[in-house]
Structure 1
């Protein structure tokens, strides 16, 4: 099983010490043979320190303490070099002690979660689903802990960390519903993930599935409220999906009723404009793009679209003006630089055309459009 967040857990290895068990030593586990040459086994620092303080260090190195630390390191690093050997040790010990290993890992995860130690809680739950990848409850609780940790990264304004933990949570929830299509709580959580990603249709369908499967009364009311509040976003997504799939007329028909209530929603205005442009109604498209630039004068995609409209109308000076504004805002965008370069070329300015297209080439020399533009400008040199 793959994990996006493993790199965030590796620092927890600092909380472990390692000792070597000799193959011919006194330490024995029934049903397990220590490899010839010995085995480096972990022990939690806190266990080691406690044993030293109490002058019973040897007691701190009992088989269960070692097995617990093995579970812990396997939960931190799924590629740990002794991972498979540790699993043999753990299996033999749990058999001898008649220990329900899954219950133990779940207990340890819940214990740490309840006291707010979410990383430790995640490590034990990660160890659980690594050993039992089809455990739906384990996958679900792993996702919940990831979401909790994502909130901590959000407070620290670490957007990359937030994204990694949320994506890992999403993947495990999707795996849970794949294994158990009747698991309503996973659908409920998935709805929020899709909603936060702007996949409103998918969020609505997912929440409707959760309600169909059965939710607690309070959660049911919450989900119904969510669906009601995002109805306009669903309509917007349906509309822009139609526009982007080439069904402009149907898309615009979906989008226009939203304009009256949301006249300053620039994304909505942009998709309406694109729809009209697809229908070859450039004048109406222009009016919507101009509305956007009143609301957001530096909206780059709109500046580019206005530049393209000016170029189509053979107003190359106007096109250059819009493309230059866009290029100043998004300096390393080869597509904008190529548009600007070609506008200069068509306006008879070879030097400026070459300058901007060469800049685009430096940024992405493999881009086909950039190479085509470079070949074109070279014809005039």
Structure 2
């Protein structure tokens, strides 16, 4: 009888990583960078030099340093080229900033290899601490950049994944710019999901992911996510809060199930699930009446469908889909007057929406450009004292200094 493979503790408990994404979706160096546009402005603070052959020969990083441009802030140049030396950790911090600003920078892999050989895990733990300290003092760009740098070093680093997701969440909650909010919200959601997929026993990621789904109206997913939170969490107050939230979700879950039935063409089932909520607190939810209207229309109850759609328009007067449903009903019944009435309303709403969207997009584009180009504050390396007794970068033997051209980013 073949010897059975020993199970891990997680497997014994029935906890397995069932979702493994392709690196193109999970590795920050490879995945789409939704929010990098807001950090690349900091790269203007750096110029690039190279180490001398002598320093490369004596360095622990050795051949890894050959031909790799070293990022320096303008204030670092004198020390780097003047002979007194520049702490290697200052250079490491500069590399972290460049990686964090742009994980797709063509020398990110070189920086990761160099820093890994010299400092191993201690450096990305330092990046993590620096990011948390920055978040505590409200410097959220700084925090995000350090969390992103730590993820360049170790893409599945639990604390960096979770902290990065929370930082993105805090940033979009503090903004009114639609473009900015959309990008940071998508990034936060993706990294909360990635954290639960990669580290399925980490409870707090489920806590925030559940709220993200709730705010998107995905009540079933929120409930399932919070069930996992309760499974793994040991935080009494948070568990009490989430149990209360799940009780509050029972109605919305049934309504969402009814919506899904209607969308899937199961009109009778959807109607049966949704009708009981007409005499509940959810009677003020216009989608409830919209999906009931669709269910009524598709099951031949035209008068009830019309009443439901008109109810929607008392709550959401510009809902074009509802007006189009009324146009279709009146077209089928030959009621030209009412058909034309709602066709005109659609035309008016569409025109207003187009005008508003044009003005809004122009305003958002202007704000988004300012967010990308506003003069960045000069940030000082903070985690130098976290690692002791490190080599000094002396005798650099200046070869060339250049700004980071667009083609090099």
Query: What TM-score, normalized by structure 1, do the two folds share?
Result: 0.77
SS at match of 1:249: helix
Distance 1:216 1:268, change over 3 A: same
CA distance in 2, matches of 1:19, 1:241: 59
Correspondent of 2:114 among 69, 89, 92:
89
Q: 1:242 is paired with a residue of what secondary structure?
A: helix
User: SS at 2:48's partner residue?
Assistant: strand
Which residue of 2 is the match for residue 308 of structure 1? 328
Return closer, same or farther for 1:60/1:238 CA change in 2, 3 Å cut-off: farther
Q: 1:255 touches 1:268 (CA, 8 Å); kept in 2?
A: yes
Write the distance in 2 (CA, Å) between the matches of 1:23 and 1:57: 17
Partner of 2:239, secondary structure, is helix
Q: How does 1:209-288 map to 2 (within 5 A)?
A: 209-261=228-280, 262-288=282-308
Answering whether residue 332 of structure 2 is matched by residue 290 of structure 1, we say no
- Between stretches 243-252 and 21-30, larger displacement belongs to 21-30
Alignment partner, residue 5 of structure 2:
none
1:84: Cα distance to partner?
2.6
2:59 to 22, 29, 45: 29
- Which position in structure 1 is the counterpart of 2:358? none
Partner Cα distance (2:129, 2:318) in 1: 54
Alignment of 1:18-57 (within 5 A): 18-23=48-53, 28-33=58-63, 39-45=68-74, 48=76
Q: Is the 8 A contact 1:43 1:61 kept in 2?
A: no
Cα distance in structure 1, aligned partners of 2:229 and 2:55: 56
Does the Cα contact within 8 Å between 2:125 and 2:150 map onto a contact in 1? no
Tell me how far apart the structure 2 counterparts of residues 67 and 313 of structure 1 sit (CA, whole Å): 73
d(CA) in 2 for partners of 1:35, 1:225: 56
Query: Among residues 71, 82, 90, which one is paired with 2:96 in the alignment?
Result: 71
Q: SS in structure 2 opposite 1:100? A: helix
User: Which sections of structure 1, spanning at least 5 residues, go unmatched?
Assistant: 334-381
Out of 350, 359, 364, which is 1:330 matched to?
Answer: 350
Aligned to 2:46: 16
User: How far does residue 67 in structure 1 lie from its aligned partner after superposition?
Assistant: 1.7
Aligned mates of 1:297, 1:100 — CA distance in 2: 58
Equivalent in the alignment of 2:387: none
CA distance in 1, matches of 2:140, 2:316: 41
Unaligned runs of 5+ in 2: 1-26, 354-409
Give the Cα separation in 2 of the matches to 1:88 and 1:211: 39
- Structure index of larger Rg: 1
Higher relative contact order (CA 8 A, sep 6+): 2
Maintained 8 Å contact 2:34/2:184: yes
Residues 64 and 110, structure 2, Cα contact 8 Å, conserved in 1: no
- Give the superposition deviation at 1:299: 2.8
- Please tell me whether the aligned partners of residues 292 and 302 of structure 1 are also in contact (alpha carbons under 8 angstroms): yes
More deviation, 173-182/292-301: 292-301
The aligned residue for residue 183 of structure 2 is 164
Are 1:130 and 2:152 an aligned pair?
yes
> Pairwise mapping of residues 359-370 of structure 1 onto structure 2 (< 5 A)?
none
Q: Distance in 2 between matches of 1:88 and 1:59?
A: 26
In 2 relative to 1, CA 8–253 (structure 1 residues): closer, same or farther, beyond 3 Å? Answer: same
1:282/1:309 contact within 8 Å kept: yes
1:207 matches 2:237: no
| SS of the residue 1:18 aligns to | strand
Displacement of 1:24? 5.5
Displacement of 1:202 in angstroms is: 0.5
Q: 1:111-122, aligned counterparts within 5 Å?
A: 111-122=133-144
User: 1:333-361, CA deviations, whole angstroms, 9 ceiling, x for partnerless residues?
Assistant: 9xxxxxxxxxxxxxxxxxxxxxxxxxxxx
Contact 2:112–2:153, Cα closer than 8 Å, also in 1:
no
